[in-house]
Amino acid sequence: MTHKLPEPMLRAFTEAEKAAKLGEVPVGAVIVDKLGNILAVAGNRTLQDHDPTAHAEMLVIREVASKLASERLVDCDLYVTLEPCAMCTAAISFARIRRLYYGATDEKMGAVENGPVFFAQPTCHHKPEIYGGIGEQRAETLLRGFFKNRR
């Protein structure tokens, strides 16, 4: 039986697919409020923006912080198609994101369950609720296809 993905994750995949068409690593992110209303969507834009920090997660966090006029996004949940890197996990912690949902794991650059396992560090001040593997197969297929075409 196939489980239907939550709407915010479907939107994150749409953003990841758009990013791939632009030659960006296909990662998409969405932030919702506690009622599930979508506050921001983005795909990776590091090439387009000439900015190594323009990861999908960073873009939506910046947008929502600006909209809410607050650096704390305590009632917000983040959906992202790939396990966040160390930079993004730090931003998630600093923003006090309530819940993190992600698709595929990232053995090379991930920092939630791989690499530095950021949220387990004693220096981490906030750990969101974490739900991995949401649409994992779809995320892995998208990423594998993207990198296969680039080689």
Check if the beta carbon of residue 73 is closer than 8 Å to that of residue 65.
yes
Residue 136's contacts (CB-CB under 8 Å, 6 or more residues apart) are 103, 104, 105
Spatial separation of the C-alpha atoms in residues 83 and 75, rounded to whole Å = 21
DSSP conformational letter for 131: E
Whether 129 sits among the annotated catalytic residues: the reply is no
Check if the beta carbon of residue 10 is closer than 8 Å to that of residue 34.
no
Phi, psi for 62 (deg, rounded to 5): -60, -45
Query: DSSP 3-state assignment of 38?
Result: strand
Given 57, 63, 83, 129, which residue is catalytic? 57
> What's the CA dihedral at 23, 17, 105, 9 to 10 degrees?
150
- Show which residues are catalytic: 57
